[in-house]
Structure 1
Amino acid sequence: MPEPHLESQRIYLDNAATSWPKPPEVYAAVERAMRVLGAPAGRGTYHEAAEVERGVADARRRIARLINAADPRRVIFTSNGTDSLNLALHGLLRPGDHVVTTVAEHNSVLRPLHFLRQHRDVTATYVPCDAAGFVDPDAIRQAITDRTRLIAVVHASNVTGAVQPIETIGQFASERGIRFLVDAAQSLGHVELDVRQSHIDMLAAPGHKGLLGPLGTGVLYVGEGVEAELLPTRQGGTGTTSESESQPESLPDRYESGNHNVPGLLGLAAGVRFVEQHGVARLRADAASLTQRLLDGLAAIEKVQLFGPRDSTARIGVVSFRLAGLDPHDLA
């Protein structure tokens, strides 16, 4: 880790894994949570605990507003994007269900599906993508069967950067009564998202990438009515209805057993506030300009092979390439 005075000299190129540096407000919020507040969320009524509760609620409201969710209680906090996707897949799918997904998915979708195919009699169809990384919505439509319960699609690839047409896919999923899960790990905070306009039933994302929060934070948006089908994958204390042995049915408690990552969530609220202040559209335009500059520069280098769309407006800022004759690990 470089010394603070050297931070400005470091060119960081690993934002697909986690964003860095964070806005100063994020560091301040995390430090205040740990040094000053020192309280859990939803477990007390004293001054510091009340401030923590307000901070967690603020994070929930800001994320709901960012994705145009009508009810902030439908924003469920998890430990990361993988945790969110596992809750969505393990909580929704039953024996005999069929899933339509794509070959462009992250292992956070592919591995849970592999497990469910082996142990829960779930079947899946993997729709191919073209050379640029795009999936044809018609191919997804044609893969639907009378047993299809879920369509799961990555919004933006962490390999090619290609942004998929989720609004089109969501429209026909809604028309067929099929649940629609979007993996927004690489897009939330980078690309404008509207869960209602895109007919998204569940949207999973980490808090530490485009939302600029700390590691150890994630979100799962659960659309209206989905909670009737989505079983919680763990049970435990929620700070509410403690006299009952049954897991609460109300949101978000149904899916949020155990203590929250308070420093992470207060830092996440600060990160989302930064995104709101600058605007997703502006942030995307700035990133597209830098991405196009990088694409054009790499394309001019002999023996460089680029992956993904050449048009920066059709992709996010993830740029993958290889150089003939060099192992990618050595090049990195």
Structure 2
Amino acid sequence: MLYLDNAATTLKKPFSVYASLMKNTVFGGGNAGRGSHKQSMSAVRTIVDTQDLIAELFNISRPQNIIFTQNATYALNTAIFGTVRTGGHIVITSMEHNSVLRPAYMLGNYTVVNADKTGLVHAEDIENAIRDDTCLIVCTHASNVCGTIEPVCEIGNIAEKYGIPFLVDTAQTAGCLGIDAKEMKADMIAFSGHKGLMGPLGTGGLYVKNPELLKPLVVGGTGSNSESIVQPDFMPDKFHSGTMNTPSIAALGAGVRYVLKHGADAIGAYEKSLSTEFRDNLFNMKNVDVYGNLDSVATVAFNIGTLASEETFERLHGQASVRAGYHCAPLAHRTLGTSKRGAVRVSFGIFNNERDVKRITDLVYRISNEVKG
């Protein structure tokens, strides 16, 4: 079947990722930090090696300030709940995923900066939303709904100007856009491991520039300072409580090596060439509405005629794996004008090709000719 849901996860991975996962499951198995024997120390080395690779990819000076989580959602929750004290004010955007919206809603004191109808956030609107009690600014690097790339470097400069921590959600961009922590002025970067970084499901992480300012979400056994009931305050142990998923972290490292070898920008450019061709094809069809900004990652959101997005999905079912609905981002759909029916999302990856563009184009074209405008 035609797979075009890479914004959810990359289905195909480089062979090295599968090989690393198998090797570290069958021949690894040590528990990092629990003992000084060979297997435990090998697991520690696995974690450190992957930290080093991600630090190279993101231009991070202190690899130990990268922590691993089971997904970007957990990383974002760690950053938000660990930063915001009682009553603190958060600035977020209307293009955020529920991994940001729901924590902000739970904390209660937040301002949503609305993007324009293409999903683009304007940095000056972020600045205008800052208050005396603002303690965190959060922005996605690119929308998971329509792919619009946000001006995170401009927003980072504003955050630095006001001395406010800045958290960037790179779930949709890590591995397919160049990410420079210093250029972004990012205090924290949350990333998904199983999308553009090509790692297995259940991997993600968080870079923390100033870990002394962040409270851990979970505390417990770290294998260090075990004689004390106090959680260690050094990195990464401060945030690495419990047994780490070292086989998957090793496989994530293999995925990052692949990205470093081929170049995130080059990968993204190839993927974007496919999405641009598909988007152009949609523009030439009747009864098709396309959403978002041309400056985007390789994600295209659209609807056909008056069909609900789920109905379009049903017509594609069995022929193409795409995503329809609200994509865990209700305010993004309100921004794009798709709150009533959601949208169909097609997202390309490095292992897609022009034949895939032709196949999905033909499928959408057939449906568009079958329905009324």
Q: TM-score range by the shorter chain?
A: over 0.9
**Match of 2:8, as an amino acid?**
A
**1:38 positional shift:** 1.9
| 1:325 matches 2:306 | yes
**Distance in 2 between the 1:178 and 1:90 partners?**
15
1:263-307 CA-to-partner distances (Å, cap 9, x unmatched) read 210110000000001011211111111111110111112111111
**Distance in 2 between the 1:11 and 1:277 partners?**
27
1:58-93 CA-to-partner distances (Å, cap 9, x unmatched) read 111001111111000110111100000000111110
**Distance in 2 between the 1:40 and 1:34 partners?**
12
- Structure 1 residue ranges (4+ consecutive) displaced by more than 6 angstroms after TM superposition: none
**Distance in 2 between the 1:151 and 1:37 partners?**
40
**3-state SS, counterpart of residue 196 of structure 1:** helix
Match of 1:207 among 178, 182, 193: 193
Match of 1:290 among 263, 266, 274: 274
**3-state SS, counterpart of residue 20 of structure 2:** helix
Equivalent residue runs for 1:156-305 within 5 Å:
156-223=142-209, 226-305=210-289
**Distance in 1 between the 2:310 and 2:31 partners?**
42
- Hey, what does 1:3 align to over in structure 2? none
| 1:152 matches 2:133 | no
**Distance in 2 between the 1:281 and 1:229 partners?**
32
**Distance in 1 between the 2:173 and 2:234 partners?**
29
1:16-58 CA-to-partner distances (Å, cap 9, x unmatched) read 1111101111111111111111222222333333322212111
**1:113 positional shift:** 0.7
TM-score under structure 1 normalisation? 0.92
- Hey, what does 1:126 align to over in structure 2? 112
**Distance in 2 between the 1:294 and 1:43 partners?**
51
- Hey, what does 2:91 align to over in structure 1? 100
TM-score under structure 2 normalisation? 0.82
Q: Is the 8 A contact 2:89 2:134 kept in 1?
A: yes
**Distance in 2 between the 1:272 and 1:11 partners?**
25
1:135-174 CA-to-partner distances (Å, cap 9, x unmatched) read 1100110111111111100110001211111111101110
Match of 1:72 among 60, 63, 80: 63
| 1:32 matches 2:18 | no
**1:235 positional shift:** 0.8
**Distance in 2 between the 1:191 and 1:66 partners?**
10
Q: Which runs of 5+ in 2 are unaligned?
A: 314-373
Equivalent residues, number: 313
**Distance in 2 between the 1:318 and 1:159 partners?**
7
**3-state SS, counterpart of residue 181 of structure 2:** coil
- Hey, what does 1:18 align to over in structure 2? 9
Q: Is the 8 A contact 2:212 2:233 kept in 1?
A: no
Match of 1:41 among 15, 27, 32: 32
**1:232 positional shift:** 0.8
**1:325 positional shift:** 3.1
Q: Which runs of 5+ in 1 are unaligned?
A: 1-9, 118-122
**3-state SS, counterpart of residue 242 of structure 2:** coil
**3-state SS, counterpart of residue 269 of structure 1:** helix
1:196-249 CA-to-partner distances (Å, cap 9, x unmatched) read 1111001111111111101111110001xx322211111111111111111001
**Match of 2:195, as an amino acid?**
K
**Distance in 2 between the 1:213 and 1:62 partners?**
13
**1:190 positional shift:** 1.1
**Distance in 2 between the 1:140 and 1:242 partners?**
44
**1:330 positional shift:** 2.6
**1:108 positional shift:** 0.2
How many percent identity over aligned positions? Answer: 42
**Match of 1:64, as an amino acid?**
A
